[in-house]
């Protein structure tokens, strides 16, 4: 099984000026690619080899395989992050909007909670909007940590808080990055799809399919 580096779902320059083409090229082609590369090196001698990246991340977290976890989770988080952005955002709407109003009072209050969480997060990591226990919550994770290892939590939205995500375009001004990111780039259609997944209406986003031999998948299935 091989972790792939999925193409961006838009052009490298599609998110400018909030995120420049230069940042996207480094971020996707160097940072994300390196997590994929190292993750694959660490997986090379695993038997049975897991068949999906979600399984690898959860296995590495349970087994305490820190280096594999860091690279696999960073690959997953970046794939999810690309999907969370759109050059043509619209929304939120419908059931998601109603729930945001119930939980946060207003979409603007959710923005404040999300941006504040990101600003106050010390060092590298990720800021998330998640669905859990029938409600919504804003939280942050450190370094490579991801919410897909948390029981009963469905990620709806994430923003990268590592300096490589914004330093070329916003220098040290994480607040300006987060505010303009929220206003200009959130893919609300994607967030709505994830919210539907949290309610059991679909499977939710998965990291793009990896190459895998049928016998590897069979062995893993038999081991379950
Ligand atoms: Fe990143």
From ligand 1's centre to the CA of 64, what distance in Å? 22
Q: Is residue 120 part of a domain?
A: yes
Q: Do 78 and 148 fall within a single domain? A: no
**Domain of 113, in residue numbers:** 94-198
Q: What is the CATH number of the domain that holds 35?
A: 1.10.287.990
The predicted model scores a pTM of 0.92
Q: Do 49 and 133 fall within a single domain? A: no
Ligand 1 ion: residues within 5 Å (CB): 160, 162, 165
- Could you list the mean pLDDT of each consecutive 10-residue stretch along the chain, which spans 224 residues? 92 98 98 97 80 92 95 98 95 94 96 98 97 92 97 97 96 97 97 96 88 43 34
pLDDT at 220: 36
Q: Is the peptide bond before 177 cis (omega within 30 degrees of 0)?
A: no
Q: What are phi and psi of 129, to 5 degrees?
A: -110, 125
From ligand 1's centre to the CA of 162, what distance in Å? 6
pLDDT at 210: 57
pLDDT at 213: 45
Q: Do 150 and 173 fall within a single domain? A: yes
CA distance 24 to 162: 13
Q: Do 48 and 103 fall within a single domain? A: no
Q: What is the CATH number of the domain that holds 118?
A: 3.55.40.20
CA distance 37 to 202: 30
The CA-atom distances, in angstroms, between 137 and each of 99, 105, 119 are 11, 13, 16
Q: Do 100 and 173 fall within a single domain? A: yes
From ligand 1's centre to the CA of 32, what distance in Å? 7
pLDDT at 211: 55
Q: Do 151 and 175 fall within a single domain? A: yes
Q: Is the peptide bond before 28 cis (omega within 30 degrees of 0)?
A: no
Helix-strand-coil split of the chain, %, nearest 5: 55, 10, 35
From ligand 1's centre to the CA of 82, what distance in Å? 10
Q: Do 137 and 184 fall within a single domain? A: yes
The CA-atom distances, in angstroms, between 5 and each of 16, 44, 59, 193, 211 are 22, 16, 20, 23, 12
Q: Is residue 160 part of a domain?
A: yes
Q: Do 99 and 169 fall within a single domain? A: yes
């Amino acid at each position: 099984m091989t972790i792939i580096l999925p193409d961006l779902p838009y052009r490298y320059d599609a998110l400018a000026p909030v995120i420049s083409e230069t940042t996207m090229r480094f971020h996707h082609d160097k940072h994300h690619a390196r997590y994929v590369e190292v993750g694959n090196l660490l997986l090379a001698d695993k038997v049975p080899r897991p068949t999906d990246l979600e399984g690898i991340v959860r296995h590495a977290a349970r087994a305490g395989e820190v280096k594999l976890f860091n690279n696999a989770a960073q690959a997953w988080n970046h794939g999810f992050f690309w999907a969370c952005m759109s050059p043509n955002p619209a929304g939120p709407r419908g059931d998601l909007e109603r729930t945001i109003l119930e939980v946060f009072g207003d979409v603007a209050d959710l923005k404040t909670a999300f941006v504040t969480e990101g600003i106050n997060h010390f060092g590298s990591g990720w800021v998330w909007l998640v669905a859990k226990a029938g409600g919504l919550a804003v939280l942050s994770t450190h370094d490579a940590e991801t919410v897909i290892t948390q029981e009963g939590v469905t990620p709806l939205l994430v923003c990268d808080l590592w300096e490589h995500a914004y330093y070329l375009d916003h220098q040290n001004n994480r607040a300006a990055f987060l505010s303009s990111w929220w206003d200009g780039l959130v893919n609300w259609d994607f967030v709505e799809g994830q919210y539907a997944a949290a309610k059991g209406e679909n499977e939710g986003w998965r990291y793009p399919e990896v190459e895998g031999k049928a016998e590897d998948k069979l062995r893993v299935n038999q081991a379950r």
